[in-house]
Amino acid sequence: MVTRTEQETRARLEEHGQGHLLAFWGDLDEAERAALLGQVETIDFALMNRLTEEWIHNEPPAERFTHIAPVPAIPQADPARPDVREALTAGEEALRAGRVGLLLVAGGQGTRLGFDGPKGAYPIGPISQKSLFEFHAEKIRNLQRRYGCTLPWYIMVSEANEAATRAFFQEHGFFGLGEENVTFFKQRMVPCVDESGKFMLEAPSRLAMNPNGHGGAIPAVVENGIAEDARNRGIDTLSYFQVDNWAVKVADPVYIGYHVQHNAEMSSKVHQKNAPREAVGVHCICDGEYRTIEYSELDIYPQLLETDAQGHLRYFAGNPAIHILAVGFIERMYANYDTFPWHRAHKKIPYLDGSGKRVKPEQPNGYKFETFIFDALRFVNHGPVALVIGRAGEYTPIKQFDGSNSVQAAWTAMGRYWADWLEAVGRAVPRDAEGNPAIAIEISPEFALTREEFLEKAPSMELPAEGDVAIGPNGESLA
């Protein structure tokens, strides 16, 4: 039976040239029909028409800057410097006062990693098989103990991984953080489009959609009452991180300190690019505004590849996507979100062909549209603070299993980082010709977040005399 909603939906789809989405209507049962209609209801047709008009039927919109300058940045923190000690004190005060919460974006599809589950559930511990979520939770437990505070953890998920993420936390008892301190909230989804701008079906009753990018955190935080919850808890500062950065220092006190000292609205860590064409965005000042230029735009701005007389990149400030955002800034950005630029990615998107056969394309066949959190930087009135970091112990993004930015690269990087701690307490670490540890190493961040803490606690630790080393949250050996 044709329902009124179906008629309306059919007319709406036809009007926007997307009538093919109901091609298999006759084969669907009631529940599937309801699901499909519900999904179509979530589509912002005005937005999608604008995006396909701008990006598919015309030349993509491009900004061109006439004057670009390197971003001013605070040099890497060295505790010998008075400004670093002052920032530490300010950050510790903010933590003790309960002003800080955590904003984790974990709504992505993780397609490159190809793991069957939310990316945060990936068993990254080389020995313990502990998940990325558990490592982050152990960092939180460490900080809560140290500063006698609660760090509410706001986790952005999407339609695609919400149920599995909630179930994972439930199964693990919320990692001892208290269910009331872990809040999941959902970002919006947008339809994927084929190369002619048509929406795609991934099943007879389901459109192919993707989460609206980590920039989707701006509306999602406000619309899901996260900003309000933070305010009610006395929190004005959110430490933003991405689930696939295993090493990330969550709520880093020195970083928070600089942010609050500058009364900044948004801050960024930046790392030295390791090659002019490294595939990371670069923080710059463009025509007077703070921007992150994507690596795909490097050829538009060849000055970004320039080095100085000493061979150092002038535009060195790579973007590891570690930010601090003021709650009030997110609320202010909510009003600006409609002006955020969208970014387009050419992707392989599985779809149903006209006969209803599922096709897994070998080549990119369509586009995903996303917004990015770093685009908020241009709107900042106070700050932004940019703090230089080294990569070791700060930035190990996990995008795929091997190659660059991979699980294997992260195991090696963290192995080297922790090997240095072990050697400092007299534990020999065999190494290969490149200096990489020839054993597997992992140290719980609940036991020690920093080298100093590790050295302090070393006497309470069980350290196997040889072979792999895995130290648990209480200093126990897991190897």
Residues that bind ligand UTP (CB under 6 A): 105-112, 119, 156, 187, 211-214, 216, 242-244, 370, 399
The CA distance from 446 to 458, in Å, is 13
The nearest distance, CB 108 to ligand UTP, in angstroms, is: 2
The nearest distance, CB 474 to ligand UTP, in angstroms, is: 29
Nearest to 20 by CA among 159, 211, 208: 208
Amino acid (1-letter code) at residue 3? T
Element (H, E) at 352: strand 351-352
- Phi, psi for residue 240 in degrees, rounded to 5: -95, 130
Of 128 and 212, the one with the shorter C-beta distance to ligand UTP is 212
The nearest distance, CB 413 to ligand UTP, in angstroms, is: 17
Nearest to 127 by CA among 363, 412, 450, 441: 441
The CA distance from 166 to 161, in Å, is 9
Of 280 and 461, the one with the shorter C-beta distance to ligand UTP is 280
- Assess whether the previous peptide bond of 384 is cis (omega < 30° from 0): yes
CA dihedral for 448, 451, 452, 455, sign (positive or negative): positive
The nearest distance, CB 241 to ligand UTP, in angstroms, is: 8
The nearest distance, CB 313 to ligand UTP, in angstroms, is: 23
First-last CA distance in the chain: 63
Please give the DSSP secondary-structure letter assigned to residue 380. -
Q: Which residue is nearest to ligand UTP (CB)?
A: 108
Pair of tokens at residue 58: 């015309």
- Phi, psi for residue 463 in degrees, rounded to 5: -115, 115
The nearest distance, CB 249 to ligand UTP, in angstroms, is: 16
Element (H, E) at 328: helix 327-336
Of 325 and 478, the one with the shorter C-beta distance to ligand UTP is 325
Of 112 and 378, the one with the shorter C-beta distance to ligand UTP is 112
The CA distance from 254 to 323, in Å, is 13
The nearest distance, CB 368 to ligand UTP, in angstroms, is: 9
Non-local CB neighbours of 161 within 8 Å, separated by 6+ positions:
106, 107, 109, 117, 118
- Phi, psi for residue 143 in degrees, rounded to 5: -65, -40
The nearest distance, CB 298 to ligand UTP, in angstroms, is: 18
The nearest distance, CB 349 to ligand UTP, in angstroms, is: 11
Of 155 and 458, the one with the shorter C-beta distance to ligand UTP is 155
Of 437 and 445, the one with the shorter C-beta distance to ligand UTP is 445
Q: Answer yes or no: are the C-beta atoms of 373 and 345 closer than 8 Å.
A: no
Of 216 and 475, the one with the shorter C-beta distance to ligand UTP is 216
Of 55 and 369, the one with the shorter C-beta distance to ligand UTP is 369
Instruction: For residue 440, give the 3-state DSSP assignment.
Output: coil
Of 109 and 412, the one with the shorter C-beta distance to ligand UTP is 109
